[in-house]
Chain A
Amino acid sequence: EVQLVESGGGLVQPGGSLRLSCAASGFTFSSYSMNWVRQAPGKGLEWVSYISSSSSTIYYADSVKGRFTISRDNAKNSLYLQMNSLRDEDTAVYYCARGSLAYCGGDCYPFDYWGQGTLVTVSS
């Protein structure tokens, strides 16, 4: 059974930092790209960041570029999001979501499994 479990959320002051983790199990983690998606209170879903299976390709939403850093440790089946210079508008539930299988060709169906989310609150 595929499982994604996020951790690391909490209350942080504006300008502060936080590191989120996502522990993966039930599939070959090193063969899949991964993503972070967030949802501000009462709002819709917003894609945040992508990392390829080998970490060779990384993308960020414009709203977090230069402040957030995505990374992964395939030996530990773990995904991370380092969040620096946090702002009030970064307050959200952060989800990790599985991407596509590497070399999926024309049959790529990412965002099939999601974790339960971890809440990040940026407030003074």
Chain B
Amino acid sequence: DIQMTQSPSSLSASVGDRVTITCRASQGIRNDLGWYQQKPGKAPKRLIYAASSLQSGVPSRFSGSGSGTEFTLTISSLQPEDFATYYCLQHNSYPPYTFGQGTKLEIK
């Protein structure tokens, strides 16, 4: 099984900050990775697919990069609505599909 190690597990930041979240795969997964945002009581929402492609309707302050085993999600300038939990998901080798452990982004 492919393990996805996501870091940090939590992060405090201020509106306007630039933040980066990392996911590391236990083996190469090409660019078969998505990033998701989840707010309390809501379903996950995909932000990025194919590691770096922006989902339609998602603000351009979100970006993804990486290939192989190392991936990053960057929010260029945090907005109040961005405080949420973020997950990566690999779909290269399955079963099982595997998620990162999540990063809770909180207001400083």
Using CB atoms and an 8 Å cutoff, list the residues of chain A in contact with chain B.
35, 44-47, 50, 59-62, 95, 108-112, 114-117
Interface residues of B (CB under 8 A from A): 32, 34, 36, 38, 42-46, 49-50, 55, 87, 89, 91, 94-102
Is chain A's interface secondary structure helix, strand, loop, or mixed overall? loop
**Contact partners of B87 in chain A: CB under 8 A:** 44-45
Cα-based distance from A44 to B10 in the complex (angstroms):
13
Contact residues in A for B43 (Cβ distance below 8 Å): 95, 114-117
Q: How far is the CA of A117 from the CA of B49 in the complex (A)?
A: 22
**Sample of 16 further A-B pairs with CB below 8 A, known A45-B89, A109-B34:** A44-B87, A44-B101, A45-B44, A45-B99, A47-B96, A47-B98, A47-B99, A61-B95, A61-B96, A62-B96, A108-B32, A109-B91, A110-B97, A112-B49, A116-B42, A117-B43
Asked if A110 and B101 sit within 8 Å, CB to CB, the answer is no
Assess whether A59 is in contact with B99, with CB atoms less than 8 Å apart.
no
Can you name 10 A-B pairs with beta carbons within 8 Å?
Answer: A44-B87, A45-B102, A47-B96, A59-B95, A95-B43, A108-B91, A111-B36, A111-B91, A112-B49, A116-B42
**In angstroms, how far is the closest chain A Cβ from the Cβ of B64?**
13
Known interface pairs A109-B34, A112-B46, A114-B44. Does A47 touch B102 (Cβ–Cβ under 8 Å)? Answer: no
Give B31 Cβ to nearest chain A Cβ, in Å. 10
- Specify which of B44, B50, B97 lies most central, judged by the most chain A CB atoms within 10 Å of its CB: B97
Rounded to whole angstroms, the CA-CA distance of A112 and B95 in the bound complex is: 18
How far, in whole Å, are A108 and B31 apart by their CA atoms in the complex?
11
Nearest CB on B from A25, distance (A): 16
Q: Is the CB of B34 within 8 A of A59?
A: no
Question: Shortest beta-carbon distance, B38 to chain A, in Å?
Answer: 8
